[in-house]
């Protein structure tokens, strides 16, 4: 008991306090999103806010149990946790329940379980342990393949489930790899690829190909015309043309119809106020109507009359924007950014590669969720099913994020003992 007491005394209280505040604030806004004048009991467990309170109590118990377990438990079983999550991701394809077009849930009566929420932290653990076993930066091709495979396998399984929103979260791990020595060229290449894909959706393929040919000729005229330079430019041109020609196929044949509509609406190519664009329009109206100070708690008309679909889950930020206004939303964002910065700061003070890399995984997962969720409610990103950590309604997401964060807080509490 003395050892457990000593470890608990080393827990980062600031991170725990931010976590608790975010959960409570989330519960308040879930209550607001479900509120109507006929409600007689504030803790009715048949409603979402009542269930969320139960999830919060369960998450708190799990957080405590995580903190009192020795760090070696997480380190030694990292690969086993990862393999279990992969098995669950495969299994849901066969016996999972289809919800919102995605087959990503196990359902046993009232109990629902989304394995992709837990695969995020197991991927972080596996990635951290593999890096830790190398003792040096990744150098060989085999090491690179194994590193990327740890991330790509759960990503692809999530894509197969047709849950592209959750699959995008795994792209955040590239920031972890960048911190651990990944070449900036790869990061820049990825950004340019996304930019080129967007151009392909906005501009005709023939015009883009013609433009790239002109640019290549201009670059060739400015070089010293060495054989290596010429081959490099021509190779880049050929790859770009192939990518341009394949982009239409990827967009029209591989993406589902509702994903195409949402991207077209985001890019301004389509307008569907009663269909795919309804969520986004109502989201902007709700947030904009809040003004500087908001309409006040339980006074949001867009929220109370259910104009915004999924306003307690994916669009919880709309409730925040309408009832708490710009100032309330700004303070919420500051609070969330403070948690991210705190996790990064704690990661940098670790004495082991395992703890540091897992800490960066935590920060990158939370950042990606935060960026995409708020971005889609503001119309800056396509509308996809991404919860806002600790704030959106949902047991799987709240418990998954709790496990994600508190495993790292456990590792941090042992930082003076973990030397490898």
At residue 221, does pLDDT exceed 80? no
Q: What is the pLDDT of residue 355?
A: 92
Q: What is the pLDDT of residue 417?
A: 74
> Is residue 378 domain-shared with residue 235, that is, in the same domain?
no
At residue 139, does pLDDT exceed 80? no
Number of C-beta neighbours around residue 23 at 10 A: 22
Residues 95-119 have a mean pLDDT of: 79
Q: Does residue 56 contact residue 27 with C-beta atoms inside 8 Å? A: yes
> Is residue 291 domain-shared with residue 348, that is, in the same domain?
yes
At residue 40, does pLDDT exceed 60? no
At residue 23, does pLDDT exceed 70? yes
At residue 317, does pLDDT exceed 70? yes
For 176-193, the pLDDT digits (tens) are 888 877 777 777 887 888
At residue 28, does pLDDT exceed 50? yes
For 143-156, the pLDDT digits (tens) are 788 888 999 999 99
> Is residue 172 domain-shared with residue 209, that is, in the same domain?
no
Cα–Cα distance for residue pair 273/311, rounded to 1 Å? 17
Q: What is the pLDDT of residue 330?
A: 94
360 assigned to some structural domain: yes
313 assigned to some structural domain: yes
250 secondary structure, DSSP code: I
At residue 274, does pLDDT exceed 80? no
Distances (CA, A) of 262 to 166, 267, 330: 16, 9, 27
Q: Which of 83-92, 204-213, 304-313 has the lowest mean pLDDT?
A: 304-313
Q: What is the pLDDT of residue 2?
A: 44
> Is residue 159 domain-shared with residue 123, that is, in the same domain?
yes
Residues 220-233 have a mean pLDDT of: 76
Cα–Cα distance for residue pair 343/367, rounded to 1 Å? 11
Q: Output the average pLDDT for the chain.
A: 84
147 assigned to some structural domain: yes
> Is residue 240 domain-shared with residue 286, that is, in the same domain?
no
Residues 194-215 have a mean pLDDT of: 84
Distances (CA, A) of 52 to 55, 58, 246, 399: 5, 10, 44, 11
Name the nearest CA neighbour of 404 among 340, 345, 349, 315. 340
> Is residue 150 domain-shared with residue 220, that is, in the same domain?
no
State the total domains in the chain: 2
> Is residue 73 domain-shared with residue 211, that is, in the same domain?
no
Q: Which of 203-207, 276-280, 359-363, 408-412 has the lowest mean pLDDT?
A: 276-280
At residue 237, does pLDDT exceed 50? yes
Taking each helix axis as running N to C, give the angle between helix 278-289 and helix 316-348, from 0 to 180 degrees, rounded to the nearest 10.
80
163 assigned to some structural domain: yes
* Domain interval for residue 153: 2-176+275-413
Q: What is the pLDDT of residue 1?
A: 45
130 assigned to some structural domain: yes
- β-bridge pairing 97-99 and 111-113: unpaired
Q: Which of 41-55, 324-338, 373-387 has the lowest mean pLDDT?
A: 41-55
Cα–Cα distance for residue pair 358/356, rounded to 1 Å? 5
Residues 299-323 have a mean pLDDT of: 80
Cα–Cα distance for residue pair 226/27, rounded to 1 Å? 64
Cα–Cα distance for residue pair 329/318, rounded to 1 Å? 9
Q: Is the dihedral of CA 124, 125, 129, 130 positive or negative?
A: negative
264 assigned to some structural domain: no
Top-confidence residue, 297 or 62: 62
Q: What is the pLDDT of residue 16?
A: 94
Top-confidence residue, 197 or 2: 197
Top-confidence residue, 310 or 8: 310
Q: What is the pLDDT of residue 42?
A: 59
344 assigned to some structural domain: yes
Q: What is the pLDDT of residue 335?
A: 94
At residue 32, does pLDDT exceed 90? no
Of all residues in the chain, what percent carry a pLDDT higher than 70? Answer: 90
> Is residue 228 domain-shared with residue 352, that is, in the same domain?
no
At residue 203, does pLDDT exceed 90? no
256 assigned to some structural domain: no
Q: What is the pLDDT of residue 216?
A: 82
> Is residue 287 domain-shared with residue 155, that is, in the same domain?
yes
> Is the model's pTM score more than 0.85?
yes
Q: Which of 105-114, 205-214, 402-411 has the lowest mean pLDDT?
A: 105-114
> Is residue 96 domain-shared with residue 240, that is, in the same domain?
no
Q: What is the pLDDT of residue 197?
A: 83
> Is residue 315 domain-shared with residue 236, that is, in the same domain?
no
> Is residue 239 domain-shared with residue 316, that is, in the same domain?
no
């Amino acid at each position: 008991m003395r050892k457990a007491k000593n470890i608990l005394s080393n827990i980062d209280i600031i991170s725990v306090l931010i976590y608790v505040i975010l959960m409570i604030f989330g519960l308040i806004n879930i209550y607001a999103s479900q509120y109507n004048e006929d409600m007689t009991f504030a803790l009715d467990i048949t409603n979402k806010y009542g269930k969320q309170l139960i999830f919060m109590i369960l998450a708190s118990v799990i957080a405590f149990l995580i903190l009192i377990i020795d760090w070696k438990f997480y380190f030694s079983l990292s690969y086993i946790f990862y393999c279990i999550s992969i098995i669950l991701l495969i299994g849901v394809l066969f016996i999972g329940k289809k919800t919102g077009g995605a087959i990503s849930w196990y359902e046993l009566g009232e109990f629902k379980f989304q394995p992709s929420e837990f695969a995020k932290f197991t991927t972080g653990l596996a990635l951290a342990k593999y890096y830790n076993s190398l003792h040096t930066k990744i150098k060989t091709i085999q090491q690179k393949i194994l590193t990327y495979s740890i991330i790509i396998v759960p990503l692809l399984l999530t894509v197969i489930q047709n849950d592209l929103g959750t699959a995008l979260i795994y792209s955040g791990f590239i920031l972890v790899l960048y911190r651990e020595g990944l070449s900036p060229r790869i990061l820049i290449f990825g950004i340019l690829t996304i930019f080129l894909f967007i151009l392909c959706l906005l501009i005709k393929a023939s015009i883009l190909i013609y433009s790239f040919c002109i640019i290549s000729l201009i670059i060739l005229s400015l070089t010293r015309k060495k054989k290596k330079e010429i081959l490099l430019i021509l190779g880049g041109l050929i790859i770009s043309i192939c990518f341009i020609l394949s982009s239409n196929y990827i967009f029209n044949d591989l993406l589902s119809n509702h994903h195409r509509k949402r991207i077209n609406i985001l890019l301004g190519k389509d307008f569907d106020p009663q269909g795919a664009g309804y969520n986004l329009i109502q989201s902007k109206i709700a947030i904009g109507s809040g003004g500087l100070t908001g309409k006040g708690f339980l006074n949001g008309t867009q929220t109370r009359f259910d104009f915004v679909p999924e306003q307690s889950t994916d669009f919880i930020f709309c409730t925040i924007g309408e009832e708490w206004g710009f100032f309330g939303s700004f303070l919420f964002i500051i609070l969330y950014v403070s948690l991210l910065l705190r996790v990064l700061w704690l990661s940098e003070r670790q004495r082991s590669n395992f703890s540091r890399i897992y800490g960066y995984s935590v920060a990158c997962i939370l950042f990606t969720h935060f960026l995409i969720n708020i971005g889609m409610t503001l119309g800056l990103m396509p509308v996809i099913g991404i919860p806002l950590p600790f704030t959106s309604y949902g047991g799987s997401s709240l418990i998954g994020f709790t496990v994600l964060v508190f495993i790292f807080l456990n590792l941090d509490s042992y930082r003076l003992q973990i030397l490898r």
